[in-house]
Amino acid sequence: MAFEIKPRTPEEFGPIATELRRDIIKMLLEAGSGHSGGPLGTADLYAVLYFGGYLRYNPQDPHMKGRDRFVLSAGHMAPILYATLANAGMFPKEEILTLRKYNSRLQGHPGRDMHLPGIETSAGSLGQGISIAVGMAMSDKLVDKNDARVYSLTGDGELQEGSVWEAAMSAAHFNLDNFCWLIDNNDCQIDGRCKDVMDVYPIDEKCKSFGFDTVVIDGHDYKAIMDAYDLFLDNQKKGTGKPTCIIAKTYMGRGVSFMEDEFGWHGKPPNAEQAEQALKELAAI
């Protein structure tokens, strides 16, 4: 049964995020490949966005006109997006166990050509999704002149891509207060800590200098996440002309003790024994 989309109190999101994390572990175990760390770390952001009334969508009509759109720019983090869409009722939940399998609609990176409801664009090459999302926001505000919102999530390691900053510059230049940039700031990428591989800090000052109304939050604090999304909605309602950037400080592998804050779990799945332990830990939350 899909989770109901409705306004909630912060306390109501915990069980939803835990279910998303359990689904991530199950699908990665079945696939035998895929990314664990980032998907687990961002589950709280998805829980609030998709099930707290902040993203306007209709599971019975995924392509409805005027819907809000979410673009996962960090396409390798697809397991959390798939788990979220399944729990939102976009497709049968049992389909998540086909992750990365031949002829599955749930490939390692989201593919628009797979015709999976809720996927707004293909993703894979880092830095490209946010550019597409900004283009969507431009179309909504400047051409169609509607009130649709566009959200896009990048990883902090993804900030090392120059195209990210071209997109950011465009969002501010065209006064896209209908655009919300989510940055998963766990300071982990596949080769180590972001600050060691290619220092991207200070992220908040960079985003402010590019014209974003920027807020830094604990990405596991539901009240803080709600307040940040409310800031974005308020900016759009007031017509501030400023896009919003939410820098969410998260822990890779959140909820699983042996994965948490370990960059080695960026791009590998758990084995059977590890998955069993992870599911036990998540069941105890």
Span 270-282, pLDDT tens digits: 999 999 999 999 9
Q: Is the pLDDT of residue 10 over 90?
A: yes
Which of the four pLDDT bands, split at 50, 70 and 90, describes residue 285?
A: confident
Go through the domains of the chain in sequence order and give each one's CATH number.
Answer: 10-283 (3.40.50.970)
Across all residues in the chain, what is the average pLDDT? 96
pLDDT of residue 191: 87
Using a pLDDT cut of 90, give the percent of the chain over it. Answer: 94
Cα dihedral angle (148, 154, 158, 161), rounded to 10 degrees?
0
Residues 6+ apart with CB under 8 A from 216: 185, 204, 247, 249
| pLDDT over 90 at 2, yes or no | no
Which strands form 244-249's sheet, in the order they lie side by side? 69-72, 150-155, 179-185, 244-249, 213-218
pLDDT of residue 1: 54
108-160 pLDDT per residue, tens: 999 999 899 999 999 988 999 999 999 999 999 999 999 999 999 999 999 99
Residue 93 CB burial class (10 angstroms; 0-12, 13-18, ≥19): middle
The overall pTM is greater than 0.85: yes
**Euclidean distance between CA atoms 224 and 70, whole angstroms:** 20
pLDDT tens-digit series, residues 168-219? 999 999 999 999 999 999 999 988 999 999 999 999 999 999 999 999 999 9
Confidence grade of residue 5 (pLDDT, cut at 50, 70, 90): confident
How many alpha carbons lie under 13 Å from residue 146 in its C-beta half-sphere?
13
3-state secondary structure 195-211: HHHCCCCCHHHHHHHCC
By the 8 A CB rule, do 68 and 149 touch?
yes
Please write the tens of the pLDDT for every residue from 72-86.
999 999 999 999 999
Give me the pLDDT at residue 7, please. Answer: 84
Q: Using CA atoms, how far apart are residues 194 and 198, in angstroms rounded to an integer?
A: 6
